[in-house]
């Protein structure tokens, strides 16, 4: 595992970040012989894979092949299987990236042999025998983040508090769209215990969103330090991957380049 290293990244303007970068503005392209050329992105609860568009555009402009998992959020097993299904389609080793609850998913699914490294983006990282919900025992979610379970056991984020709790640095129209297109999650998922922890054997990186109001930044740092991840702090809300795609892509790129360089030694 990589020893903890905290870097602070000064965020770009939110409006420009939401739109995403153009290929002309992208970071340096990867070498033709770089060992890690595949990236798999995993979303969390209350969202779908479309929020990764800015990160996708940035990474593909740099020469990566990027695939996005669409978690059904119907059970933890279903989400892990959905991730493994996409991993099986990749040509060569991959960096596996998870946001929020997606961190639990990549922790379980990341033991697949073609996963070369893990990137946690405002994400949780349980250990074997722990559940996603267990992670909040000492540092609970901020009070402005409220989940409302339905009679069928699926939960939504409270409408009135959605922006402040989930997407504080998005525009009002973008926050409204995210709120009204949110994907409900089976609340039983938060109690499902993991059987594997990929971060125990694979190098990890973590993006800590300093303005996260869904997962306390203190918890994000605690989780990242526990797994020995290289830590990068980015000024942004819980949906930092959406509002700061270049900063997030930079960390994913760094992970892929670092693992690739290690493989050639």
Encode pLDDT of 183-230 as tens digits: 999 999 999 999 999 999 999 999 999 999 999 999 999 999 999 999
* Beta bridge partners of residue 8, listed in sequence order: 233
Q: Quote the pLDDT of residue 17.
A: 35
Backbone angles phi, psi at 186, to 5 degrees: -65, 115
With a cut of 70, say whether residue 87 has pLDDT above it: yes
Gap between the Cα atoms of 114 and 231, Å rounded: 23
Strand pairing report for 185-186 and 154-157 = antiparallel
Local structure of 118: helix, strand or coil: strand
**Mind listing the pLDDT tens digit for each residue in 52-72?**
999 999 999 999 999 999 999
| Under 8 Å between Cβ of 118 and 95 | yes
Sorting pLDDT into bands at 50, 70 and 90, what band is 15?
very low
Q: What is the mean pLDDT of residues 124-151?
A: 98
Q: Quote the pLDDT of residue 5.
A: 36
Q: Quote the pLDDT of residue 262.
A: 87
Sorting pLDDT into bands at 50, 70 and 90, what band is 26?
confident
Tell me the longest C-alpha to C-alpha distance in the chain. 55
With a cut of 80, say whether residue 163 has pLDDT above it: yes
Gap between the Cα atoms of 265 and 261, Å rounded: 7
Q: Quote the pLDDT of residue 70.
A: 98
Gap between the Cα atoms of 124 and 207, Å rounded: 11
Q: Quote the pLDDT of residue 25.
A: 64
List of residues 6+ apart from 187 with CB closer than 8 A: 147, 149, 153, 154, 155
Q: Quote the pLDDT of residue 133.
A: 98
Closest CA to 97 of 173, 244, 198, 22: 198
Sorting pLDDT into bands at 50, 70 and 90, what band is 36?
very high
Residue 73, both tokens: 């959020």
Q: In the predicted model, what is the mean pLDDT of the chain?
A: 92
Gap between the Cα atoms of 218 and 113, Å rounded: 32
Sorting pLDDT into bands at 50, 70 and 90, what band is 27?
confident
Backbone angles phi, psi at 100, to 5 degrees: 60, -125
Gap between the Cα atoms of 147 and 156, Å rounded: 6
With a cut of 50, say whether residue 95 has pLDDT above it: yes
Q: What is the mean pLDDT of residues 132-150?
A: 98
Residue 67, both tokens: 């695939």
Percent of the chain with pLDDT over 90: 88
Q: Quote the pLDDT of residue 141.
A: 98
With a cut of 60, say whether residue 48 has pLDDT above it: yes
**How far, in whole angstroms, is CA 47 from its chain's centroid?**
12
Closest CA to 118 of 141, 134, 95: 95
CATH numbers and ranges of domains, the chain = 5-10+35-129+138-263 (3.40.50.1820)
Q: Count Cα neighbours of 238 within 13 Å in the Cβ-side half-sphere.
A: 29
Model pTM score: 0.91
Q: Rg of the chain over CA atoms, in angstroms? A: 17
Closest CA to 73 of 162, 130, 155, 181: 155
């Amino acid at each position: 595992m990589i020893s903890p290293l905290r870097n602070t990244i000064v965020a770009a303007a939110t409006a420009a970040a939401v739109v995403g970068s153009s290929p002309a503005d992208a970071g340096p392209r990867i070498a033709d012989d770089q060992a890690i050329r595949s990236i798999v992105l995993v979303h969390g609860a209350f969202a779908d894979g479309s929020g990764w568009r800015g990160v996708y555009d940035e990474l593909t402009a740099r020469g990566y092949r990027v695939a996005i998992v669409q978690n059904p959020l119907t059970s933890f097993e279903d989400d892990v299987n959905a991730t493994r299904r996409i991993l099986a389609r990749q040509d060569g080793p991959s960096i596996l990236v998870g946001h929020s609850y997606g961190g639990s998913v990549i922790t379980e699914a990341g033991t697949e042999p073609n996963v070369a490294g893990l990137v946690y983006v405002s994400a949780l990282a349980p250990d074997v025998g722990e559940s996603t919900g267990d992670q909040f025992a000492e540092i609970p979610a901020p009070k402005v983040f409220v989940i409302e379970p339905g009679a069928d056991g699926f939960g939504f984020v409270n409408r009135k508090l959605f922006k402040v709790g989930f997407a504080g640095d998005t525009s009002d129209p973008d926050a409204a769209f995210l709120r009204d297109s949110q994907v409900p999650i089976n609340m039983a998922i938060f109690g499902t215990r993991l059987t594997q922890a990929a971060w125990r054997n694979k190098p990890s990186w973590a993006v800590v969103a300093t303005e996260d109001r869904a997962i306390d930044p203190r918890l994000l740092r605690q989780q990242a330090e526990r797994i020995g991840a290289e830590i990068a702090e980015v000024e942004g809300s819980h949906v930092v991957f959406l509002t700061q795609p270049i900063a997030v892509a930079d960390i994913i790129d760094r992970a892929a380049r670092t693992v690739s360089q290690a493989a050639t030694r």
